[in-house]
Each structure stands twice: as structure tokens, then as C-alpha cells.
Amino acid sequence: MMNSIDLTPFYRSSVGFDRLGSLLDSALRSEQNAGGYPPYNIEVVDENHYAVTLAVAGFEESELDVQVEGGLLTIKGQKAEKEGDKEREFVHQGIAFRSFERKFSLADHVEVKGARLQNGLLEINLVKVIPEAMKPKRITIESQQDEQQRSTLEHQASEDKAA
């Protein structure tokens, strides 16, 4: 079943996170390919902090891999076969322990700050780091009066040096 969601409004109003729309688009595309496993949330913590949380109950830390390369966040889960797993017989097996891979495109200047596995949830913390050159700068507006005062002070300073 294909989900069709119009994300055009995100592209117009995404000042703080320029590619939020494509992050969501990418997530929806990967969900269609992955069959929705494992389920996940993308949360806005504050203006510059985000969290991606995946439900990975049953996976141990050593069975999970989180990597970032070229603006692409990849989370892989590979369930290790334990001795005796093949001999187990189930009447019904509804708990999925299959391997998975989820990919998320990160916006420009978004970095992964860490990951934590707790109570079956893998939380990946993201932060948007704006380079100093791209941060807004306040420009003071000078009036003619300010300019006259500055030239008077400069003139007085040059007279004091001459004296």
C-alpha cells in the first residue's frame, strides 16, 4: 500500500531546517521499501536539536550499527543467531527479529551527536550547527548625527596628537 503525502508546505516554510521535507520524503520512501520495520519517530527537540528514535526491542547494542556518510544516516540491525534458536519450535511467532536497514538524508550542517539504546528504543541525537559565516549579524544603522560626532572625535584626537 502506497502512502501519498504532499510535503510542499514543508519546503516553503522550512527556514530553520532547509531539507526537513526531503528528510521526511526519504523516510517515507525507505518505509515503503522496508515494510515499516522497525517503526521510528523523528522529533524536534528544540530549534537546533532533533532526535530519531527507532523501536528495536530484542536487539542488543552489539547487533546495531549507526553510521553517517555524506549526509546520509544509516542504521542497521543484524540479529545474531544464538545457539539453540534453530531447535525452538513456535506455535505462533509474531515477534520480528529480522535484520533491517534504515536510511535518513540529513540536512546541511546537521551532525549526529550521539546514540543511546534504552528500553528497546534506539535514540539518535542530531544537532544543527550553523557555521559562523552563516549566522545572522546585526548591522547598526548610523545617522548623520553619529557621523558628525565621530568626525568631531577624530578631529579632536588628531589635534591632541599634534599638541
DSSP-derived secondary structure letter, 36: T
Instruction: Report pLDDT digits (tens) over 33-66.
Output: 556 789 999 999 998 899 999 999 889 999 999 9
Where do the domains of the chain lie?
8-135
Tell me the one-letter amino acid at 146: D
Gap between the Cα atoms of 71 and 138, Å rounded: 31
Instruction: Report pLDDT digits (tens) over 114-150.
Output: 999 999 999 999 999 888 887 788 888 888 777 777 7
Q: What topology is assigned to 8-135 in CATH? A: Immunoglobulin-like (2.60.40)
